[in-house]
Chain A
């Protein structure tokens, strides 16, 4: 399970996560290599979002360490944290756009905060990113005036504004229709292919896992830890865990019945 950590952009070591001392998941160890798309899968309420929030530094782990690009977010200074955050793009389940700014201003915000570019340049980059996600027509709309799926795409444009090395998604396809969800998956894959960014993806959708993930981390609520890690097609057949084989083979089982 452990790899050479010098090559990995994200590495979790003996991690225990939870709230107020209540353990949600423990003994989490895995590495993510540069340019990889890795999905996190598990039952509802098993702690996927919690894990993601620990990784991006919103919560502090109960035990163990998380290294992103060779640094531990919880141990570095505020200034260093700001620098680290510039290298990470995060999209939230609801889009999490700021309601008081237009779509274009939302995308421009990280650029205004973290770069010294001129207003013209910032606007150019914002338009570019919005075009990438197919939202350029809605640049001047307010977040309350666009649909849920559009919010997610605008959120992605904002996450891409600073050309991050690492991209995090919390359930990008939740609440989207199957077509939009497949489009979103293709978008993620294209972005990875173009910029060689590393992508960490929390999802419920088996389709996304099989279509875009290089590897999948399966969490199991009953044993409170990782059930298995590996290529989804491989795990579906060869996983040592009965739970993982059943979960990943769910599509097929349904059809056979």
Chain B
């Protein structure tokens, strides 16, 4: 096996450095496009936005409901195993409700969206690069962030919070099912405790996070796509990169928010 040389690390470091620099410039461009979109909302490409809303939102509903429902069941199951030792099964409700609303609902939806939307954005833009469509846009004097990024960004910022709300509900129902079957908590009691301990703030905390995840996923997806090289392999690589970097960014961001939240609370 070849030893990793210092020069390799230096080279890796340099590419990483340039990548981060490019990403920051890209975010700046998108910010300008967002300001432009706010000032001239009629110039947003409505049809594209609706298309992505359908692709990233509507089409993801079944998978989000399924995964979150199962996740709620798993949580309640593990909770029941441990809590039954102390005869405090009713706290399954607390375990499921808080972890789903604050963390797992928005998080799972973000992971699903990275796999579905982030990779699709990167592949789509990568293909457009390979076909010179991006060059054509640029030489037609059309702003790439406005034309390619804004519709995706808006669609994701609308779709993810709604999906997260759906996911929350599905996970709570999953937890309720297991709580009822395994831990013999009556459905009425489970429901009453859920309503009792949850408040709007907890729910909105999770939904707010999903908006941040939406921004991260769409920016990373589009950026990886724009960095794609002009060949089929380049498109594949950029889609993979979009998923890997997207998940990493979501996890790191989630951890940061948790830390900040715990400091504040």
Contact = CB atoms under 8 A, between A and B. Distances in A.
A69 B139 CA distance: 16
Interface string A39-76: 00000000000000100111000000000000000000
B19 interface: no
A20 to B, nearest CB: 12
A127 interface: no
By CB atoms of chain B within 10 A, which of A83, A96, A99, A100 has the most?
A96
Contact of A88 (B51, B137, B139, B142): B139
B139 A98 contact: no
Nearest to B140: A110
Interface residues of A, number: 25
Nearest to B48: A100
A81 interface: yes
A100 B128 CA distance: 10
B56 to A, nearest CB: 15
A50 B260 CA distance: 50
A97 B133 contact: yes
A81 B138 CA distance: 10
Nearest to A79: B141
A92 B135 contact: yes
Interface string A146-168: 00000000010000000000000
B184 interface: no
B75 to A, nearest CB: 40
Given A92-B135, A98-B133, A85 B128 contact: no
A93 interface: yes
Contact of A82 (B128, B135, B136, B141): B141
A92 B132 contact: yes
Contact of A90 (B48, B127, B139): B139
Contacts, number: 49
B131 interface: yes
A177 interface: no
Interface in B109-133: 127-128, 131-133
Contacts of B131: 94, 96, 99
B240 to A, nearest CB: 22
B133 A93 contact: no
A204 interface: no
Given A94-B132, A99-B131, A81 B141 contact: yes
Contact of B140 (A83, A93, A99, A109): A109
A225 B184 CA distance: 85
A109 B138 CA distance: 13
Interface of B: 48, 51, 127-128, 131-133, 135-142
25 contacts: A57-B139, A58-B138, A81-B141, A82-B141, A85-B139, A85-B140, A85-B141, A92-B132, A92-B135, A92-B136, A94-B131, A96-B132, A96-B135, A96-B136, A98-B128, A98-B136, A99-B127, A99-B133, A100-B48, A109-B140, A109-B142, A110-B140, A113-B142, A114-B141, A155-B136
Given A58-B138, A82-B141, 17 more contacts: A58-B139, A81-B141, A85-B140, A90-B139, A90-B140, A92-B132, A92-B135, A92-B136, A94-B131, A96-B131, A96-B135, A96-B136, A97-B136, A98-B128, A109-B140, A113-B140, A113-B141
